[in-house]
Each structure stands twice: as structure tokens, then as C-alpha cells.
Copies of this chain bind each other. A is one copy, B any other.
Amino acid sequence: MKSKNINLLLVSFLLVWGSSFAQTANKDSLAKRHEEMMAIIMTQPKVPIKTIGILVYDGYNTLDAMGPYHTLAEIMGTKTFFIAKQKGMIKNQRGLQMKVDTSFTEVKNLDILVIPGGAVETFMQTKDTATLNWIKQIDKTTTYTTSVCTGAWILGATGLLQGKTATTNWYRAEEMLNSYGAKFKQERWVRDGKYWTSAGVTAGIDMSLAIIDELMGKKYTEGVMLDLEYNPKPPYNAGTPESSEKIVADMMKEMYDMALFPLIQKQIKK
């Protein structure tokens, strides 16, 4: 009985110890896993980023603004918001109204400024001194000053792209950027120092992810991509003039020319 008791004790002990060991091992691995996850979630940006402002004006192009808005807001601990010359209702290129709660005069500094593009109304902004001056003031405080699509026309008009390499919407991209003293590079997005510029419309999402990658690293960026389920499957290898059927690229250029060329002609010939 003695030995039996001892054996029972030993077996009991081994069972308890074994199970507690297993639990500990499990706990440890769970704790480690949790720690790893927390390390990703709590990633601090390389440079502190607290405020991300997106400049809008009547006629801004929806996805030029909404892509970066949705994407950059995924940097935790930041305030991402829209700014207009006057607060109130601002219309997109199709007349949809959104409520903008912040006016130029209320913003003295930003960590990231985003300037979306559009068509005719965007070119009008390049002539709006109040807008250009506000951008120049804010730019003095930013970590990154960025543009999407023809937003680069506005940024260019401030003079801030002088001598910089940049990109913009494919339409007369080189002519337009050259007219602002910038060097055109045909890329999805271009970074030159603190200036990030993207190609047209949807390229703003790729630029935003590249900014997040720069600030927060690969794991955090993959988390954002999963939140956006960003694993694009375009129906065709197209979306640039070079990759489109020639007749399509020519047609789009002619259509853009009809709407914009009379307006930008002087700018290009400068």
C-alpha cells in the first residue's frame, strides 16, 4: 500500500505537474503570441504623426481624397480629417456634399498634408492665392506634404515642387510638372524628400500604403492591407496610357484635352 500510495502520489504529482507544465508552456506561447501582436498594434511611427489633413474644394475627385483618407486613418493615434478654405458643405466632382468641419484659419500645422486632384476645379485652385499661401504655411510644419493625381498641379503652383522629382495623373503629366519646375517620373508614386506625389486617383491608395510602410513597417502595413482586403485583381492589365489599347488611350487623352486643354494651354507654354 505504501508503494502504491507513493506511486499514486507520484502519478498525481506528475499529472498535475505535467498539466501545469503544459499550461505554462501554452500560457507562455500564448503570452508570446499576444506580445508579438501587441508589438505590431502598438507600433510607433518612425516620426510622430498626430494630424493628417486632407485639403478639399468643390470639384475634388472622390477617390483621390477618399482613398488616402480611409488608408492613412489606419495609423493609430492620429486624427485624419478634411480641411477646406471655408468649413461647411463641400461638393465632389459629381455634386455629392460632405460636411467639412475645419477651415484653413483653424489649421496652423499638420504632420501630413494630402492634396487631392480633380479636373477643371483643380486647375482653378492653382490660381487661388489664399489656397497656395495656406499650403506653403502648412508645409513648413509637415513631416510629409503629399498630392494625389492632379493635386500635384496645386502643389506645383505653390512652387514647392521646384527642382523636385514628382508624378501626377498621366494626362500631360510631364508638360504640367515641367511647367512648375519639377521633374516628371513615371511611377505609381514618387518620394522626393518630404514630398510624396502619386499618379492618378487610385494611386493615392498605393502612396498611402507606402507612407504607412515607411512609418510603421511591413507587419503593420500588412495589417492595414488586410483591413482593406487590398489584394487587387483588375480585369485587364491596363490603367496607364501605355498598357491600354492605343485607341482607348488616345480617346481618353482627346476627351481630357477637350475639357482641359484650353485652360492649361497657357500654363504648359510658360
A residues apposed to B, CB below 8 Å? 33, 36-37, 40-41, 62-63, 66-67, 69-70, 73, 80, 82, 89, 94, 96-99, 149, 169-170, 188, 199-203, 205-206, 209-210, 213, 218-219, 221-223, 225-241, 243-245, 247-252, 254-255
Contact = CB atoms under 8 A, between A and B. Distances in A.
B200 A225 contact: no
A76 to B, nearest CB: 11
A188 B89 contact: no
Contacts of A213: 235-236
A80 B95 CA distance: 11
Most buried by B among A222, A228, A231, A238: A231
A66 B73 contact: no
Indicate how many identical chains form the complex.
2
B225 A238 contact: yes
Contacts of A230: 201-202, 234, 238-239
A37 B254 contact: yes
A228 B248 contact: no
Given A73-B94, A97-B99, 18 more contacts: A37-B247, A37-B254, A66-B66, A97-B98, A98-B99, A149-B229, A169-B229, A170-B229, A199-B229, A200-B227, A206-B232, A213-B236, A219-B247, A221-B235, A221-B238, A228-B239, A230-B238, A231-B240
A139 B236 CA distance: 30
Nearest to A253: B226
A250 B98 contact: no
A219 B245 CA distance: 7
A250 B32 CA distance: 13
Given A63-B66, A67-B63, A73-B94, A239 B225 contact: yes
A40 B235 contact: no
Contacts of A36: 247
A36 B40 CA distance: 53
Nearest to A211: B235
Given A99-B89, A202-B229, A251 B235 contact: no
Contacts of A73: 94
A40 B234 CA distance: 20
